Amino acid sequence: MQKENLPVRVISPQRGFFSFPLKEVLEYKDLLFLFVRRDFVAFYKQTILGPLWFFIQPVLTTIIFTIIFGRVAQISTDGLPDVLFYLAGVTAWNYFSGCWNETSDIFRKNKDIFGKVYFPRVIMPLSIIITNLFRFGIQFLLFLGVFFYFYFSGHEIQPNWAVVFLPVLILMMAMFSLALGMLISALTVKYRDLVFLIQFGIQLFMYATPVVYPLSIVSPERQWILVLNPMTSIIETFRFAFLGSGTFHYVHLLYSFASILIIFVLGLLVFNRTEKSFMDIV
Amino acid sequence: MSEFALEIKNVSKLYKLGVISTGTLSHDLNRWWHRVRGLDDPYERIAEANIQDSKGESGYIWALKDVSFNVPHGTALGIIGKNGAGKSTLLKILSRVTSLTKGEIRINGRIASLLEVGTGFHPELTGRENIFLNGAILGMKKNEIHSKLDEIIAFSGVEKYVDTPVKRYSSGMRVRLAFAVAAHLEPEILVVDEVLAVGDVEFQKKAIGKMQDVSRNQGRTVLFVSHNMAAVKNLCEKGVIMKNGFASEIFSSDTAIQKYLEEQESLGLHNNFSLKDSDFANYTAFITEGKIFGKNDNSIICGDEMNIHIKYKNNDPTAYADLHVGLYDAFGTKISHLAASFTTGSVIKLRAEGNIMCSIPRLPLIPGRYSINLSLHYRGKPYHRVLDAFFFIVEEGDFFNSGRMPGHNQGKFLIDADWQFL
């Protein structure tokens, strides 16, 4: 046996205050993609409609929003067709909330695997982010379809140069949901109360974000309260880019990016700490 | 390059006892405050050695305390010790499932443990897909699995079903497939925890076979955790004894086993025990007293009657339970397993307070030392377990009513038989 090139691994209690096991994650990238594949394939196995389910959920949500918020409550949609307005919000929001919801429970849900074998734990939330990205891609196609329908049937829609921000918006949503998910999953290990709060919390958070209403219905001097929420400018920019309505501010976007970055670093930190000790607690 | 496969230096692990969450936040804050000021963890100082019979005061224990030893390349090392001595904790730290509180471990080479067979199998995926997933979880690269795929499938013996979802597999097929993946890992250091593998005999056999192959024929390093002395003796050349979180130096496996058995003997025999009610505040049902005795309260004699007498208390008037009795020889090998339901065909309806009496009319055990574990449980869910409830001696007797017996090393128990000579 060749002993010269064996990998040497040192296990010690101290790890850097902030260390992201990037090298390890790269070593395990195959696992990352296998997890993504697993989640994707397992999602529609033994269902009749199969991948169609990726469409059904946003369609139903949009219909419900159109009826309740558009018709019954008659909340402004900045002059856009109701369906398009809500679908834009729902598509973007779904990506964020899906990632957040699934990453929030990873330690508890995977304790059997985590309890028996080591791999960089961060692989798990990363795989969720990527799986959801595919889901988002599919739902985004649906959105584009509806978008072009309205566009060519002569509605007032002005897609513009801000479309180039789409990758940034997605990245920001991924980082934000990952950060929140990691924070909460780390905390649920010890304080299980949070599990009960999370569904409810996401729901509330949606109403604190201009998903079912435009930012413009809030009076200008109070808008800053909503803008404090990093998701606000993401959703608004998304709608502005494709539909030409909504508020777009570099400052808002920059603020969102900065605050997400801070929360992200915090989340990673807490996650790293929990990863080491959670088996003794769960 | 180090001559050792494993260098374990002053490894310690702190555990908090009892219910986690009450007071956790305040302890966490206190810890954090100490750390900010550059002080030691305040709970490390009050933590106690891991002695299970006496109840600790501090709520913190050292599951491992200053464990140090080096394992040279190519050694098969047996880690022996009682339940809760820290063996499994050490393995968990080695496979990085849990962290250590102090100390350092250097691992020279890839490490893999057979305690994780089949983890991450997804029931909806096919056998082939699961091979990839499971292999990757265990740390293999995709092309590594690709190149070994045919071998793995052949070894598993499930060729026909490899494109069928795993949920349609029998449990045996699942184990075979999982094991096939693990067997093709080829780590430099293999970790086998027999304690955790219990429950699947087929897997256990395969794991031990694999281990033998790995250590003898391939010259790899193996760590084997067991409380079965016979298995350790058979498989390992070196042995280390763990007790209350401390580890001995490395002995030859024969010496280690002998020392362990001597110590067990010096603990003395106990044919009865009684436990304080106050220790069981959160238990639904628990055993308060136990006694083992021969005919007319005398000592236990081979071929004579043996009685086990248990007193229990129960807080749930609707509870049912079964009493299981695990019988072990001096080497820690399980010899037999008795349960009330095996004989009577039904479980016991528990009273608020009650007695369970079990009588074996003609004890078929060869004279020697034995121990018993008790478990009061219902459908696999234990209410209360008493490990090493009894250490007792079976004395010489006349099982066959002929005054004759096989010699001491001739088997573990006696079977009555009818003979005909024609």
Confidence (pLDDT) at B325: 93
Write down the ipTM of this complex.
0.80
CB contacts of A11 in chain B (<8 Å) are 93-94, 96, 100, 104-107
With both helix axes pointing from N to C terminus, report the angle between A123-152 and A166-190 in degrees, rounded to the nearest 10.
140
Longest dimension (CA), chain A: 75
Q: Which residue has the higher pLDDT, B24 or A47?
A: A47
Measured between CA atoms, the residue of chain A closest to residue B1 is A4
CB within 8 Å: B133 and A116 = no
Q: Which residue has the higher pLDDT, B381 or A239?
A: A239
Whether A108 and A189 have beta carbons less than 8 Å apart is answered as: yes
Residue B38's pLDDT band (cuts 50, 70, 90): low
Report chain B's mean pLDDT, rounded to a whole number: 81
Q: How far is B111 from chain A (nearest CA, A)?
A: 10
CB contacts of A28 in chain B (<8 Å) are 136, 139
Confidence (pLDDT) at B177: 85
Q: A interface mutation test: which of B3, B50, B124 has the most A CBs within 10 A? A: B124
Confidence (pLDDT) at B55: 47
The per-residue pLDDT for range A65-103, each reduced to its tens digit, is: 999 988 888 888 878 888 899 999 999 999 999 999 999
Q: B interface mutation test: which of A33, A38, A45, A118 has the most B CBs within 10 A? A: A118
CB within 8 Å: B73 and A42 = no
Residue for token pair 């990016």: A257
CB contacts of B122 in chain A (<8 Å) are 38, 42
Q: Looking at this protein, which amino acid is placed at residue B42?
A: P
CB within 8 Å: B165 and A7 = no
Residue B51's pLDDT band (cuts 50, 70, 90): low
CB within 8 Å: B124 and A46 = yes
CA-to-CA distance for A255 and B359, rounded, in angstroms? 77
Question: CB distance from A2 to chain B under 8 Å?
Answer: no
Edge to edge, what strands does the sheet with B48-49 contain?
A8-11, B102-108, B4-16, B60-72, B48-49
Element (H, E) at A102: helix A82-103
Q: Which residue has the higher pLDDT, B262 or A89?
A: A89
Q: How far is B392 from chain A (nearest CA, A)?
A: 35
Q: Which runs of E-coded beta strand occur in chain A?
A: 8-11
CB within 8 Å: A6 and B108 = yes
Measured CA to CA in angstroms, residue B329 lies from A219, A256, B193, B309 at distances of: 81, 67, 20, 20
The per-residue pLDDT for range B265-279, each reduced to its tens digit, is: 776 678 888 888 777
Whether B367 and B396 have beta carbons less than 8 Å apart is answered as: yes
Is pTM beyond 0.80 here?
no
Whether A19 and A272 have beta carbons less than 8 Å apart is answered as: yes
Q: A interface mutation test: which of B89, B96, B111 has the most A CBs within 10 A? A: B96
Residue B88's pLDDT band (cuts 50, 70, 90): confident
Pick from A11-25, A137-151, B392-406: least confident: A11-25
Q: Looking at this protein, which amino acid is placed at residue A1?
A: M
The per-residue pLDDT for range B279-337, each reduced to its tens digit, is: 777 788 889 999 999 888 788 888 899 999 999 998 888 888 999 999 988 877 888 99
DSSP β-ladder status, B221-225 and B76-81: parallel
Element (H, E) at B273: strand B272-274
